[in-house]
Chains A and B, each alone.
Chain A
Amino acid sequence: MAKKKGLGQQLLDTMEDVIELMERTTDPIRLKELDALRKKISNEAGRLIDAQLDASTAEYKEATAGLKQASAAIRDAIRGLEAVKKAIEVAAQALDLVAELAA
């Protein structure tokens, strides 16, 4: 059975996707929005370092699912199948779920 990633590492996966999207985005407004999102994700990831959260809770699973959706939306945006604005919204929602859990 594959070992599960910590929530912080999952968040960093999403951050990596956001940065990849930043590197491909030419619209300066969207780029600033993505950079703001990157900073928020980084901040939340920082709160999860050395924290040992219970991965069996419903909230944890919800946050994990949210991050997967966010990464999928960002990947679609990278491929041009989804609007960058939409991907930012999905990622922001996932980030809220993580923030609640880490609070």
Chain B
Amino acid sequence: MCASAMTFGRVWKVGVHMQRWKRSLESIAGLVLAIAFLGCGLTVKQQAAIDLFSAATLDFATVGRSEFQQSRADVTEMNTRRLELGDDSVPDDLAGLLTIERTMVRLAALEALQEYAQLLGALVSTTPPGEVKAASDSFVASLRKVRGVSLNDTDASTIGRVVVLGGTFLIEYKRKKAVQEVVEVAHPHILTTIELVKQDFDADSDFWSAGYRQATQDLRGAAAAAGADVPAQDVTGQALIKGAKVLATENSARFTVVSAQITQAADRLREAQQNLRFAVHSNEIGSQDIDEYVSSVNELVAIYALLRSR
């Protein structure tokens, strides 16, 4: 019994010894793999580029969303003035052509850009896997609401899958793969979305900007027509006409400036998205490729704050 116990003790010691060796080997292998994968992760420059892109795109989306809402409010105000001037052609919906339906479609495009930026931001930071997954789901859902964008199930599941992998293991290598796949799969849809936003603020297009221009001209026209009916000594009436003209001129001038800034920033965003696509694949490319876009968005934000702060 004693011999058996001694034999058991030796066997147990050998077993413990082997387990220690195994654990040591696993640790070393893990360390080697971690070092190897660490080298395959996003470089500091790449992370900086994605961070800058993400922050600037959030700003761009915020300004764009605000301008759709503010310009719609402008049209309502201008049409109210037309009523006061006695214009009988004012539409029942005072927002005129900038209807709720048209507005919602536009806001959906900007929401998709915002969700994209938030997802990229979450992927390059230490965001809990659950939050990354939520960001991914929000991005897919918002992209599907954008008019003219058709995200198929394969692309949608690819975004969801890579995000789960990237978030769960928190390995730099996986994170990089996740960013690469999200940027790649989202690329054509993001370009389409940017183009939709841009065309709305294009002064030559028949989209949102045309609806706004129509409203400013209608107010100016109503003021010109009212001028014949209001005697020069009618101070209140003349003030109403003058105020309407000033409002139409101011709104038109501001919308022209803001639109030009937004279309310029949209062009830079398109270039930045293309650069980002290369940046996440090349260790040599960094934030300098996003700088022009960031600069354009900063200018847009500054000018917008000046023009819209009432």
Point out residues on A near B: beta carbons under 8 Å: 3-9, 12, 15-16, 18-19, 22-23, 28, 31-32, 35, 38-39, 42-43, 45-46, 48-52
Contact = CB atoms under 8 A, between A and B. Distances in A.
Contact of A12 (B89, B213, B225): B213
B214 A45 contact: yes
A12 B210 contact: yes
B210 A38 contact: no
Interface of B: 89, 96-97, 102, 203-207, 210-211, 213-214, 217-218, 220-221, 224-225, 227-228
A38 B210 CA distance: 15
A6 B204 contact: yes
Contact of A9 (B102, B204, B227): B204
A8 B210 contact: yes
B225 A50 contact: no
B206 A31 contact: no
Contact of B206 (A7, A35, A42, A43): A7
The 5 closest A-B pairs by CB, nearest first: A6-B206, A8-B206, A22-B224, A35-B225, A38-B221
A9 B203 CA distance: 8
A38 B222 CA distance: 9
A4 B210 contact: no
Contact of A39 (B89, B206, B224, B228): B89
Nearest to A52: B206
Chain A interface main SS type:
helix
B220 A48 contact: no
A31 B221 contact: no
A5 B207 CA distance: 11
Contacts of B218: 38, 42
Nearest to B202: A3
Contacts of A35: 221, 224-225
A6 B225 contact: no
B228 A31 contact: yes
A54 B85 CA distance: 38
Given A9-B205, A42-B217, 5 more contacts: A3-B204, A22-B224, A31-B228, A38-B225, A49-B210
B213 A4 contact: no
Contacts of B221: 15, 18-19, 22, 35, 38-39, 42
Nearest to B219: A19
A43 B228 CA distance: 23
A42 B218 CA distance: 7
Contacts of A28: 228
Contacts of A7: 206
Contact of B225 (A9, A31, A45, A48): A31
Contacts of B211: 46, 49
Given A9-B203, A9-B204, A46 B228 contact: no
Contacts of A12: 210, 213-214, 217
A5 B204 contact: yes
Contacts of A51: 206
